[in-house]
Amino acid sequence: MKNGLNSGVSAKRPQPTLTLRGFELFKTLLDADEQNALVEELRNVIRAAPLFSPMTPYGKPMRVRMTSAGKYGWYSDRSGYRYEPRHPSGVPWPPIPNAVLQLWQTVTGIDRLPDCCLVNFYDADARMGMHQDKDEADFGWPVVSISLGDEGLFRIGNATRGGSTESLWLQSGDVMVMGGDARLTYHGVDKIRAGSSSLLPKGGRINLTLRVVD
């Protein structure tokens, strides 16, 4: 078998619905039951490691509320962006739910499992400015992003700030893989479409981001 790829068992990897600037989108990869099951798992994660709004290095808290699961959690404060082995409360991050790890395997076909599942919760007014994912040790590993709940307008830019951008709406159950050239491409979330999904009783959007950290 080719190094890093699955063989045997359920080795069939889905085909991306569409590829935009190297970002591979798997549209509605999760059906309604799978989405609901994932939300249930996330309730447990959030119970163990409550959502918080990290401070940015320049003194304003992020609008998105977040927590993590896995060996590391993404964290930010005045001294910068980094991964931490513990929630700000001092407890270790809870384990990454199995269904999430299986999804990573399905979509990447990579043997190595992610160290971090960042859980981002967007309320109707939350946005995420354009940024690169560059706090990891090895940019050779892909990043996987899972959308749940309300639709979000995702914007894709370039390897450096500025220049033209392209946007697409991400819907509940969509999965995106950012690998290769797209791994360091600037991206962000401009808008949440309130009321566009009934998955979360109180509305909002959850994005799970899976990363190999070290």
Annotated binding residues, written as ranges, equal 74, 81-83, 120-122, 131, 133, 135, 161, 187, 205-211
43 binds DNA (CB under 7 A): no
Verify binding: residue 52, DNA, rule CB under 7 A.
no
Task: Give me the least distance between CB of 213 and DNA, in Å please.
Answer: 10
Q: Which residue has the tokens 């994005």?
A: 207
Q: Which of residues 115-154 bind DNA (CB under 7 A)?
A: 118, 127-133, 135
Closer residue to DNA, CB minimum distance, 160 or 198: 160
Contact 57, 81 (CB under 8 A): yes
Any contact of residue 59 with DNA (CB under 7 A)? yes
Q: How far is the CB of 162 from DNA (least distance, A)?
A: 10
The DSSP element (H or E) to which 48 belongs, if any, is helix 32-48
Q: Least separation, in Å, of the C-beta of 43 and DNA?
A: 22
Within 148-207, the residues that bind DNA by CB under 7 A are: 161, 188
Q: Which is nearer to DNA, 59 or 90 (CB)?
A: 59
User: What's phi and psi for 177, nearest 5 deg?
Assistant: -115, 125
The smaller minimum CB distance to DNA, of residues 41 and 135, is found at: 135
CA nearest to 197, candidates 170, 177, 166, 175: 170
AA letter at 30: L
Spatial CA neighbour of 68 closest among 42, 99, 102: 42
Select the residue interacting with DNA from 50, 57, 85, 195 (CB under 7 A). 57
Question: Which H or E run contains 7?
Answer: none
Binder of DNA out of 64, 103, 110, 177 (CB under 7 A): 64
Maximum distance among all alpha carbons in the chain?
Answer: 50
> CA 172, CA 31: separation in Å to the nearest integer?
9
Distance (Å, whole) CA 119 – CA 46: 9
Task: Catalog residues that contact DNA under the rule CB under 7 A.
Answer: 56-64, 74, 76, 78, 80-81, 118, 127-133, 135, 161, 188, 209
